[in-house]
């Protein structure tokens, strides 16, 4: 029982002070903060995460049915798709692909079976997007959107029974194609500032006089918009005649708008980075819909922002993180193969240290992102909707995808720059900015949401304190504030002691489960979690609401939280996969890189902290010996790179369940690369022998009997395969004029027919 003395003489003045200092949360901020729930992010915020709890969480698993879908329809769809022709020749998915997507219910992965959907887990949904992404971004985005934020998800979470019974079966069967319109020319990241309006009024709908809404809007960038039959629309609802309540301004509302209604213009198409999934603007002028079309009915009028944030809390953790995990695994895989087959200065480029530096980063990033994707899906399948975690996943996964794709482009040089069917990277490279921008552009997500929302949502006391301060009943508010404030102070002191002890001992005694050689990593993360909790508390105490405007500081805090989350996932993956020895360098790379980022961000926060003594104090507690971590060592990077340039179970684990084109697929750069890689690996012992005999020329080696005739033939086949794999497309000028590269059909066969260079001997080491 708190003493009344403490409450009245100590807490009360602080309460009044804090009430004056605390900026009021706007309705949209409050709704964003209240959306979803918290999960492992909240444990990290305590400063003392319980590792055993994390390791005990069941890993994500597929059911037999989901596995069969991936091996069946998803594979079949991938085989039907030609990404080059879709983007550059047809500018759309071909009709048979559209039909297949609808018939096999790709648009209904999240719709429950009771409504005719597939009722897949988050993990299965993610695996489907992942595999499709490794074949065609345009197809992956097309399948992604109806399963992400949009009418399906909103109806399932908030729809009335009648709405669910009517719309969900129609969406599941593909009879209705949905899209979701939130963004308008004037309202992008600040979507809540939209000026699209709806006015409650009476009007005629399908021959009857009904209570309805007259809508006026202008949206843009709407995926599936050009072909959608039903538009989920976000707008500001007004009720000047008080027909559904007593307020004039009702607020952001979501409704279903059939796109055939009079007054709707479906504009022309946008071309998003030359990925031709359907995307475009649309307008409505005095479009009339019944109030029954408000998602969730009239009771949900004005609650649109909360609904959106809630739907986003789950979906954001699946679509783009899955595409990014696929993209990083893909780039690592193809770059390793290319670095093995491409030779310069008589050496495979994968043997150059500077290339290994890139390969090592790609391999470890692929390991990390897939770990985080699986862990997040497991949480979603366990019923969580962790809004901060999914924001971290979206921003971090897409940002790391960008780094990996750039690395892959650099490793490939001109091969990845020249567009055409032989280019298996250009498409992904062009797609990265889309992933960076949609579902919350990364700069705003990193600087405002990851930490800004995280600090309020995941902190064990902050939200309770804010609620107490905003309580209309001041006596009750003071009572609650008194309880939480003193709990908070105790928590902060404990974290200060933890952070100090763990920093000054180098984390040697920080808590960790017994995880063999990985135990030391848990200890370092425990150390940094305590430091993070302490730094957050001091920043909140000294900067208060002003921290929101300090975006650079906030972004650095967000980075530390993200590193703690992603590193936890890598540790969990290593554990869940039976502590694979061969994967340990990947884990080590991730951890070393993560600790360096964490220390760098702490250093930057302390150096830039607006109240200098607080920065000095934090440095003394958290980084007493300065920045010690320098990122992954050359030794570890080298071992990670080696995993990509030779076949192994570890290499396969990185790209498991991505789509691999059939070896004989005509005109496919990836198929040619995989073939050349396999052949070069197969002839390596022969080349080693030639190297030992100091003979380079195949015919000379044959004459000297260093190799036999069969081996000479194998070497020549491998050389031809390499020539085909490193070839690039070219076009007749007229092919590039009227219809772009439309008629480019047989380029790889032309390229393959070019003379093959001789393979030079090369030692394996």
Ligand X SMILES: Cc1cc2nc3c(=O)[nH]c(=O)nc-3n(C[C@H](O)[C@H](O)[C@H](O)COP(=O)(O)OP(=O)(O)OC[C@H]3O[C@@H](n4cnc5c(N)ncnc54)[C@H](O)[C@@H]3O)c2cc1C
Rule CB under 6 A: which residues touch ligand X? 179-183, 188-189, 221-223, 272, 279, 434, 437-438, 441, 443-444, 447-448, 551
SS3 of 222, please?
strand
User: Which lies closer to ligand X via its Cβ, residue 196 or residue 711?
Assistant: 196
CB of 453 to ligand X, least distance (A): 13
CB of 189 to ligand X, least distance (A): 3
User: Which lies closer to ligand X via its Cβ, residue 204 or residue 549?
Assistant: 549
CB of 185 to ligand X, least distance (A): 8
User: Which lies closer to ligand X via its Cβ, residue 192 or residue 643?
Assistant: 192
Which residue among 153, 439, 599, 711 is the active-site one? 439
Joined tokens for residue 756: 């093959």
| Known catalytic membership, residue 357 | no
Distance (Å, whole) CA 222 – CA 210 = 29
Residue 401, CA distances (Å) to 135, 393, 436, 524, 692 in order:
16, 12, 9, 26, 41
Where do the H-state alpha helices sit in 36-91? Answer: 40-45, 51-56, 64-69, 75-80, 83-84
User: Which lies closer to ligand X via its Cβ, residue 316 or residue 384?
Assistant: 316
Distance (Å, whole) CA 575 – CA 186 = 48
Distance (Å, whole) CA 729 – CA 669 = 10
User: Which lies closer to ligand X via its Cβ, residue 256 or residue 363?
Assistant: 256
DSSP annotation of 183 reads: -
Residue 160, CA distances (Å) to 294, 308, 565, 632 in order:
9, 16, 36, 53
SS3 of 102, please?
helix
The helices-and-strands tally (H runs, E runs) of the chain is: 32, 9
Residue 107: closest CA among 158, 171, 179, 180: 171
- CA 34 vs. chain centroid, Å, equals 22
- Would strands 230-238 and 197-205 be described as parallel, antiparallel, or unpaired? parallel
User: Which lies closer to ligand X via its Cβ, residue 210 or residue 441?
Assistant: 441
CA atoms within 13 Å, Cβ hemisphere of 701:
27
User: Which lies closer to ligand X via its Cβ, residue 437 or residue 760?
Assistant: 437
User: Which lies closer to ligand X via its Cβ, residue 555 or residue 721?
Assistant: 555
Distance (Å, whole) CA 360 – CA 631 = 12
**Which helix H or strand E contains 91, and what residues bound it?**
none
Using alpha carbons only, what angle is made at residue 464 by residues 458 and 465, rounded to the nearest 5 degrees? 115
CB of 442 to ligand X, least distance (A): 6
Buried b (16+ CB within 10 A) or exposed e, 21-53: eeeebeebbbbbbbbbbbbbbbbbbbbbbebee
Q: Name the one residue in this structure whose structure tokens are 């390499």.
A: 722
Q: What is the 3-state secondary structure (H, E, C) of 551-603?
A: HHHHHHHHHHHHHHHHHHHHHHHHHHCCCCHHHHHHHHHHHHHHHHHHHHHHH
CB of 316 to ligand X, least distance (A): 11
**End-to-end CA gap in the chain:** 71
Residue 757 neighbours by CB distance under 10 Å? 12
Joined tokens for residue 291: 């109030």
User: Which lies closer to ligand X via its Cβ, residue 221 or residue 532?
Assistant: 221
User: Which lies closer to ligand X via its Cβ, residue 194 or residue 237?
Assistant: 194
CB of 544 to ligand X, least distance (A): 19
Contact 609, 554 (CB under 8 A): no
Distance (Å, whole) CA 500 – CA 618 = 9
Residue nearest ligand X by beta-carbon distance: 188
CB of 272 to ligand X, least distance (A): 4
User: Which lies closer to ligand X via its Cβ, residue 62 or residue 191?
Assistant: 191
Distance (Å, whole) CA 616 – CA 318 = 40
Distance (Å, whole) CA 282 – CA 305 = 21
CB of 534 to ligand X, least distance (A): 26
CB of 188 to ligand X, least distance (A): 2
CB of 282 to ligand X, least distance (A): 10
CB of 401 to ligand X, least distance (A): 15
Catalogue the active-site residues: 439
């Amino acid at each position: 029982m708190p003493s009344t003395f403490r409450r009245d003489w100590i807490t009360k003045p602080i309460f009044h002070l804090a009430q004056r200092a605390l900026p009021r949360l706007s309705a949209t901020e409050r709704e964003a903060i209240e959306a979803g729930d918290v999960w492992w992010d909240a444990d990290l915020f305590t400063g003392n995460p319980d590792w055993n709890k994390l390791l005990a969480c069941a890993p994500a698993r597929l059911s037999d049915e989901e596995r069969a879908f991936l091996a069946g329809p998803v594979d079949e769809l991938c085989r039907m798709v030609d990404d080059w022709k879709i983007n550059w020749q047809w500018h759309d998915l071909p009709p048979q692909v559209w039909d297949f997507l609808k018939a096999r219910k790709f648009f209904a992965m999240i719709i429950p079976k009771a409504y005719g959907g597939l009722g897949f887990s988050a993990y299965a949904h993610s695996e489907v997007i992942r595999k499709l992404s490794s074949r065609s971004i345009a197809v992956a985005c097309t399948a992604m959107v109806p399963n992400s934020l949009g009418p399906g998800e909103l109806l399932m979470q908030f729809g009335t029974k009648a709405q669910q019974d009517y719309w969900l079966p129609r969406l599941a069967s593909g009879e209705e194609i949905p899209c979701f319109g939130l963004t308008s020319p004037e309202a992008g990241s600040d979507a809540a500032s939209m000026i699209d309006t709806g006015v409650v009024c009476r009007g005629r709908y399908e021959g009857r006089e009904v209570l309805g809404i007259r809508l006026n809007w202008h949206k843009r960038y709407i995926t599936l918009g050009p072909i959608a039959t039903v538009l989920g629309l976000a707008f500001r609802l007004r009720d000047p005649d008080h027909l559904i309540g007593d307020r004039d301004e009702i607020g952001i509302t979501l409704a279903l708008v059939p796109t055939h209604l009079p007054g709707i213009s479906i504009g022309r198409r946008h071309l998003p980075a030359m990925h031709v999934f359907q995307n475009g603007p649309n307008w409505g002028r005095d479009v009339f819909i019944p109030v029954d079309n408000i998602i969730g009915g009239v009771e949900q009028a004005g609650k649109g922002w909360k609904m959106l944030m809630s739907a986003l809390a789950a979906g954001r953790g699946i679509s783009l993180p899955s595409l990014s995990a696929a993209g990083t695994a893909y780039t690592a895989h193809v770059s390793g193969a290319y670095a093995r087959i491409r030779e310069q200065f008589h050496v495979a480029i994968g043997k150059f240290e500077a290339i290994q530096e890139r390969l090592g980063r790609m391999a470890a990033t692929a390991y990390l992102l897939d770990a985080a994707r699986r862990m997040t899906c497991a949480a979603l399948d366990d019923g969580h909707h962790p809004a901060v975690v999914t924001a971290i996943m979206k921003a971090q996964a897409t940002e790391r995808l960008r780094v990996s794709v750039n690395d892959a482009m650099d490793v490939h040089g001109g091969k990845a720059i020249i567009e055409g069917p032989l280019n298996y990277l250009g498409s992904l490279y062009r797609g990265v900015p889309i992933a960076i921008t949609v579902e919350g552009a990364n700069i705003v997500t990193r600087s405002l949401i990851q930490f800004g929302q995280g600090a309020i949502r995941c902190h064990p006391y902050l939200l309770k304190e804010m609620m107490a301060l905003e309580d209309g009943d001041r006596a009750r508010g003071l009572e609650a504030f008194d309880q939480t404030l003193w709990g908070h102070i105790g928590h902060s002191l404990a974290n200060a002691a933890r952070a100090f002890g763990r920093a000054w001992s180098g984390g040697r005694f920080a808590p960790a489960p017994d995880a063999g050689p990985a135990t030391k990593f848990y200890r370092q993360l425990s150390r940094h979690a305590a430091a993070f909790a302490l730094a957050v508390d001091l920043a909140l105490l000294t900067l208060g609401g002003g921290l929101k405007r300090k975006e650079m500081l906030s972004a650095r805090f967000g980075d530390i939280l993200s590193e703690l989350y992603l590193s936890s996932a890598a540790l969990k993956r290593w554990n869940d996969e039976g502590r694979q020895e061969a994967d340990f360098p990947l884990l080590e790379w991730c951890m070393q890189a993560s600790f360096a980022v964490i220390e760098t961000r702490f250093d930057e926060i302390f150096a830039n902290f607006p109240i200098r003594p607080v920065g000095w104090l934090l440095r003394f507690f958290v980084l007493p010996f300065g920045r010690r971590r320098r990122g992954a060592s050359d030794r570890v990077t080298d071992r990670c790179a080696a995993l990509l340039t030779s076949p192994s179970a570890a290499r396969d684990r990185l790209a498991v369940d991505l789509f691999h084109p059939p070896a004989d697929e005509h005109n496919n750069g990836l198929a040619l690369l995989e073939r050349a890689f396999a052949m070069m690996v197969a002839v390596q012992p022969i080349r080693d022998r030639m190297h030992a005999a100091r003979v380079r020329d195949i015919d000379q080696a044959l004459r000297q009997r260093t190799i036999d005739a069969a081996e000479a033939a194998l070497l020549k086949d491998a050389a031809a395969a390499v020539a085909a794999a490193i070839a690039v497309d070219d076009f007749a000028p007229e092919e590039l004029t009227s219809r772009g590269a439309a008629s480019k059909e047989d380029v790889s066969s032309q390229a393959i027919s070019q003379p093959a260079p001789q393979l030079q001997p090369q030692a394996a080491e």
